[in-house]
């Protein structure tokens, strides 16, 4: 395990973020606070994930003691439209049809907050989907129920495996946590062995 000088708190219920942080060798506690995820309509899409990640971290500001708070938020952007989490199978199907045969961006914002300061940044990946058939979309929604995923898909799921021939950027950013950037941000807190 990577040793840090302060306890690390991951403020996310995402099983994928927890898995990635664990597999990267970090020990952490999960603690989540309900946060309003509204953002100004006029805000450029590229700024939204960092804005929301900071909002999630600031929910802990009052009780911030000697810990590191790590938050993240991921959005999918196609033709300047932000695709959030679908509310049902119909919306998921519409999102996947919109992504089918096209390129889109996945933008993950991250916030690392301590008493001493805050780092807030985004990482971007360009993802290319091949044309998806209606049967593939229906099968995916039925078997994987992607209602907790921005853009209605997980890159690690069936639709990502069969539908994404290439991407530019980090696979882990698309999964929801740019581990390479998080590692860099946490380096000042590594214990010297």
- Could you list the active site residues? 73
Phi then psi dihedrals of residue 163, to 5 deg: -105, -10
Q: What is the DSSP string of 160-175?
A: HHHH--EEES-HHHHH
C-alpha to C-alpha distances, 93 to 5, 45, 136, 150, 151, nearest whole angstrom: 45, 22, 10, 13, 10
Find all residues with CB under 8 Å of 181, minimum gap 6, and list them. Answer: 110, 121, 123
Distance CA 102, CA 79 (A): 10
Phi then psi dihedrals of residue 146, to 5 deg: -85, 45
Q: Name the DSSP class of 135.
A: H
Distance separating the N- and C-terminal Cα atoms of the chain: 12
């Amino acid at each position: 395990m990577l040793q840090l000088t302060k306890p690390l708190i991951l403020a996310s219920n995402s099983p994928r973020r927890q898995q990635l942080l664990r597999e990267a060798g970090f020990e952490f506690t999960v603690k989540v606070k309900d946060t309003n995820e509204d953002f100004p309509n006029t805000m450029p899409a590229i700024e939204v994930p960092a804005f929301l990640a900071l909002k999630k971290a600031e929910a802990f500001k009052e009780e911030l003691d000697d810990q590191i708070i790590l938050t993240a938020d991921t959005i999918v952007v196609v033709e300047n439209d932000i695709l959030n989490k679908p509310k049902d199978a119909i919306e998921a199907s519409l999102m996947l049809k919109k992504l089918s045969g096209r390129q889109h961006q996945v933008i993950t914002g991250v916030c690392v907050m301590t008493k001493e300061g805050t780092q807030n940044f985004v990482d971007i990946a360009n993802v290319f989907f091949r044309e998806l058939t209606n049967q593939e979309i229906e099968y995916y929604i039925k078997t994987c129920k992607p209602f907790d995923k921005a853009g209605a898909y997980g890159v690690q799921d069936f639709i990502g495996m069969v539908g994404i021939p290439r991407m530019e950027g980090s696979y882990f950013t698309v999964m929801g946590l740019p581990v390479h950037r998080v590692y860099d941000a946490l380096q000042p807190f590594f214990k010297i062995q």
